[in-house]
Structures are given as C-alpha cells and as structure tokens.
Structure 1
Amino acid sequence: MTIMWSSEHLDLDAYLTRLGYEGDRTPTLETLRALLRAHVLTVRWDTLDSFLYREVRLDVPSVQDKLVRRGRGGYCYEHVVLFAAALEKLGFRFTAVSGRVQLGADSAHPRPATHAMLIVDLDGTRWLSDVGFGHSPLEPIELVDGGRSEADPWPHLLRWQEITHGSPGWAVHQRGGETEGPDGWVVRLVFTGTPQYPVDYAVGNHFVATHDRSPFVTRPYVQRRGTDRYDTLDALVWTTERPGRDRVTRTVGPHEVPELLDDVFGIRTDPEEARLLVTRLRELDSARHRPGPPPRRSG
C-alpha cells in the first residue's frame, strides 16, 4: 500500500492510548466505528493557534505533538491528518475529500471547500468518516442516499442531491436550526467524491489559518462534543446544549477563558499561552465595543 499520509511518523500506540482505545487493530468496520467514536469524544477541537499565531502545521509530528502529547485541540485539517495517518498505519483504504460548510452560508455565494473528511472503503461499501467538525457524528455514515447516523441524540442524514450551483453531490443534513428541509433537516455541508491529497489540504489550511476573512483568525472558536452534551466557546460566548433542554448561553470575561478551557473543554494552555490568549481576547472585546466613526455629513 502506498504511504501517502506520513503514517511512518505516527506513534500509533501513543495515539490509541490518548483515545483510551484497547480494542482490535484489524481494518474492519467495527474497528473504524470504535476509533471514530473515541477520536470524536476525546480529541478536542479549537482554532486557538490560528487566532493567536496564524500558523497551523499539518505535518504528522507537529499534529501528534499538539493533539496527542500536549492535549491541545485543533480543527478539521489537523484531526483528519492524524486520523488518516492512524488508519493508514492500521491498513485501512480510504479517500480524502473536501466539503463546503452550508450552515449560515448564502447558497448564491458558496464558501470555499475547506472542511476535511475521509471516505473509508470496506468490503465494497464506502463510509463517510468525519472526525473534524467538532460536533461530528459518533459513527461513520454509509455513503448511500438516505444513509443515517443515529448513534446519539444528534442524528445525521446523507443525501445525493443538487448542491453548489446546480451540481450533483452529497449533502450531510442535521437536525435543528431553521427547518429548511423535510421533517426539520437542515444541510450542514456538501461535498463531492473528488480525491484530495495532503498538498490540497495544505492549501486550504493556509487560507483558514492566515486569511484576514477567515473566521478562525478573527476570533477563537472551541467545541467539545459529548454523548449528551455539546459545548462551544465563540470568542467570549459560552453555550451549552443538551438534548430536550433549552440552550444555555453565558458571556464570560477574557480572564476566565483559560480556566474555562481546562475545566469544561479539556484543553490545556501553558502560562505564556494563557496570558497571550487573555490579552488578545481583551483586544477583541475592546474593538467590538469601540464606537465607530461619526456619520459623514452631506453637502
């Protein structure tokens, strides 16, 4: 098998220990299900590096040092590079793809395809495996029209339909938000089966980590997904969702964020990084409350 995802640099034992995984290592659907679930529930999701430094490295040694050894979080590219290296080392066959996030997007002006995912091939069946969305499904979804994930209270539905500008492709639907589809389903993201390679992810990663218009640069966003709880921190707004309950939203102060990251999100920051984060959050909060320029007079 061709080594494409640098699995020779992955410490597989350390990664599996980080997941708390002690199961079988043969490339089967049962192994894939267990690994995906453990990854989504264990490895954290955040955009702190792009917000603080505008640099996110995708080489396997850097990613495993950050997500496995240091207990930090990352976003989809980092998650998928790590997961792909592990699957490759275990002998799985898969294709990497890119998706366009649709939530909050204007369909007439699509967002760039900057969400990374894997499609795993097992005995003639293909499985969408999305470990890097933050609020990811807890199981792979069979790549067929009508494929579903119902392993937890937040179900997902896969449809083959018209996507960007009339082109056919796959759409991942989720429950919640405005009812834009039948039975309350809303489109989360769309994608095609066009293969992506590490160099393609490097290009997309450069945009989301450094571009002035990238939301990952303009404010920090952090997620933690549980089996019955979902927490987000969007700049200074902390939101908790539980199935069947009202959403709880709180605004926190910049100085509270490092402790909140540790206690609620399971993300550890060292003292220097915590100080930089608080400083940047204070600057962001001040800029948001700063009055704009006076209106221009006519004549």
Structure 2
Amino acid sequence: MWNGDQLDLDAYLDRVDYRPERDRTVTLRGLHRAHLRAIPFENGDIVAGVPIALDLPSIQDKLVGKRRGGYCYEHNLLFAAVLDRLGYQVTGLAARVVLGRPGDVPATHALLHVDRTWLVDVGFGGGGLLEPLPLVEDAFQAQGGWSFRLDLDEPTGVFTLQTYRENAWTDLYRFTKDPRTPADYTVLSHYLSTHPNSPFTARLLVQRTEDHALRRITGSEYSVTSPDDATTTRTLTPDELTAVLRTDFAGLELPTGVTRPVD
C-alpha cells in the first residue's frame, strides 16, 4: 500500500542526513527528527496553482530530488514509504485539526500509526511532534522544550493530541485508530489544495519546529515562538523572505511567483 518498493532509500537518507541503526525504536526516533530537520512544511505549489500529486515518484521527486517541502499528505506518504521499505508496519490515520477552534471540523490531516505502538507525524503545520509518541491513553513526553500528551475519550475511541502552550494544555488534533489509505488522502488533498475556503489556498504557509523554536511564515509575516510562549514577529520584504527561507528553513527555495506575488 505504501509503495516502499518504489522508494530510492539511499537518496532519501542522503536528503535527511541519517543512517538507520540496529535498534528499531532508535531508528524511528532518529528518522522522525531528521525528516523534520531537513524537509520543511510548506504550501508553495498550492499558492502557485500547481496541482499536488500524491503518487510516490512525484512526492519523491519534489521533496527529495528538488529539495522542496510539502504539506501533510506529501510528508507522511513519503515517510510511510520509508518506514515500509525498512520493514515497519504502517497504518494511515486521519485527524481533525482543532488548534483551539470550536465546532465541527473535518478529518483532513494525515498521520501514521507505526508498529501498532507509535503515533508518527512528520507533516503537521501547527507545531507538532518532534518524535514518535506512544499511542496510548495519557502518553506524555517532553520533546526538546515542548511537551505533548494524548487524551483518550474511551466511549468514542477518540484520541486528542495536546501541547502545553500559554500555561495550559491546548488541543492540536483529534483522531481515532480507524485506518485510512492513500486513496482517502488523495480525495482529502484535492479539497484542501483547491477549495477557496481551504486555509492552504489563500497565502503562503511555511513552518519548521525545532527543539526550542517554532518558526512560521504566514504570507509575509515571520514569527518565531519559543516553548515559554515568547514570540517575535516581523514583516518580510520579498528579498528578506527569500533569504529567511534559505537560512531558517533548511535551504528552501520556492517558485519566484510565490515569494514575489504579482499584485
């Protein structure tokens, strides 16, 4: 299902600058961190009107060959192929991104359940996990300066991933263990990458989570938030945007039409 046989594993490992170790858990954690360190979250193609292709050769060409980033479907489908190739058991899941919003929200975020043990997510654009988290009730981990925990509503089987922000636990997303397939992600991605009400179609979004900084570009606004919630924000000129993408977002190069939009 995850097309690990189509993956150029050596090229991917070179891209993220990591080599597997004998211990499977150590490797999973190391790969998770290496992927986040090397490949940013970004929606440049969506803003530019370029269709998002979710077949593995296309994702690999973009994120590995062209050294671009992507959004959740691209990141987690690529990571699923890597784990599949390395012999891990991978199940796709879908989550409802909450981020403190009230009301009903659709399950549009892709994430992974690995070896029936780990919640794995290298594609969340809202300040997510740096490492896999045990997918069990009340799981808790400090990852760098960030803290995460899982809450479970037993009657419904709904898990909620939370992070500690502004002196309180904040819901990031909710999900169940109901499996999803790449075909499910293709339908969801089409909506998110084309619908005018999608948060991804209106403006540039770039994000990178580090041990002690959450870096975000929203349109031309650049913010850096630390685990103690201190935030600095500044507006970037097109030249500054290009420079910041290179220095603070792993050398990311976006199409000119995205960094210098035409009025």
Superposition TM-score tier, normalisation by shorter sequence? over 0.9
Q: Could you tell me whether the CA contact under 8 Å between 1:25 and 1:90 is conserved in 2?
A: no
Q: What SS does the corresponding residue of 2:189 show, helix, strand or coil? A: helix
Indicate yes or no: 2:48 matched with 1:59.
no
Tell me what 2:80 maps to: 84
Q: For residues 9 and 179 of structure 2, what CA distance do their matches in structure 1 show?
A: 25
Residues 173-213 of structure 1 show CA distances to partners (whole Å, capped at 9, x for unaligned) of: 11114x6xxxx111110001110001000001101111111
Specify which structure has the higher proportion of strand. 2
Tell me what 1:132 maps to: 123
Tell me what 1:294 maps to: none
2:187 paired residue among 203, 206, 209: 203
Q: What SS does the corresponding residue of 1:209 show, helix, strand or coil? A: helix
Which runs of structure 1 show a deviation greater than 3 angstroms over 4 or more consecutive aligned residues?
none
Q: For residues 186 and 241 of structure 1, what CA distance do their matches in structure 2 show?
A: 15
Indicate yes or no: 2:212 matched with 1:234.
no
Residues 149-178 of structure 1 show CA distances to partners (whole Å, capped at 9, x for unaligned) of: 21211111001027xxx944100011114x
Tell me what 1:152 maps to: 144
| Structure-to-structure mapping, 1:1-299, within 5 angstroms | 4-24=1-21, 28-106=24-102, 108=103, 110-121=104-115, 126-134=117-125, 135-161=127-153, 167-177=156-166, 184-244=168-228, 246-269=230-253, 273-274=255-256, 276-280=257-261, 283=263
Q: For residues 30 and 244 of structure 2, what CA distance do their matches in structure 1 show?
A: 29
What is the letter of the counterpart of residue 69 of structure 2? Answer: G
Bigger-Rg structure (1/2) = 1
Distance 1:279 1:20, change over 3 A: closer
Q: TM-score, normalised by structure 2?
A: 0.93
Give the CA deviation at 1:242: 2.2
Q: Could you tell me whether the CA contact under 8 Å between 2:143 and 2:211 is conserved in 1?
A: no
Q: Could you tell me whether the CA contact under 8 Å between 1:54 and 1:209 is conserved in 2?
A: no
What is the letter of the counterpart of residue 106 of structure 2? Answer: P
Between 94-103 and 166-175, the greater mean CA deviation after superposition: 166-175
Identity %: 37
Tell me what 1:295 maps to: none
Unpaired runs of 5+ residues, structure 1, are 284-299
Q: Could you tell me whether the CA contact under 8 Å between 1:54 and 1:217 is conserved in 2?
A: no
RMSD: 1.9
What is the letter of the counterpart of residue 169 of structure 1? Answer: V
Unpaired runs of 5+ residues, structure 2, are none
Q: Which has the higher contact order (CA 8 A, sep 6+)?
A: 2
Q: Could you tell me whether the CA contact under 8 Å between 2:223 and 2:233 is conserved in 1?
A: yes
Specify which structure has the higher proportion of helix. 1
Q: TM-score, normalised by structure 1?
A: 0.82
Between 74-83 and 30-39, the greater mean CA deviation after superposition: 30-39
